[in-house]
Amino acid sequence: MKKNICMYGIAAVSLIGIVTAAVSEKRFRKKIKREISDIKMFQSVENDFLNRHSKIVAEELEEIRDEIGTVYEHFEEIENIRNYGR
């Protein structure tokens, strides 16, 4: 009789351990899913930020190129005037 009670006790403790481990694993998986979701959300926000700023930088670079082109054209005109006068 004592042997049966002891076996049932061991089985009950083992079952409690298994259930506890399963619950802990489920909580852990939920936590991991939340972390992944947070990372994806952060990456999305970061990508939006980078896209907006890269467009702004590209527009500013284009303006600078246009200004350089205009300065170069004026420089050529000045050179032509100098050469024409000789």
SS3 per-residue string spanning the chain: CHHHHHHHHHHHHHHHHHHHHHHHHHHHHHHHHHHHHHHHHHHHHHHHHHHHHHHHHHHHHHHHHHHHHHHHHHHHHHHHHHHHHC
Query: Tell me: the pLDDT tens digits for 63-82?
Result: 999 998 888 888 888 888 88
Which pTM was predicted? 0.50
* Chain CA centroid to CA 57, Å: 20
End-to-end distance of the chain based on CA atoms, in angstroms? 124
Q: Which residue has the tokens 């004592």?
A: 2
Compute the distance between CA of residue 71 and CA of residue 77 in angstroms, rounded to an integer.
Answer: 10
In the prediction, which pLDDT does 85 show?
66
Query: Tell me: the pLDDT tens digits for 18-68?
Result: 888 888 888 888 999 999 999 999 999 999 999 989 999 999 999 999 998
In the prediction, which pLDDT does 9 show?
77
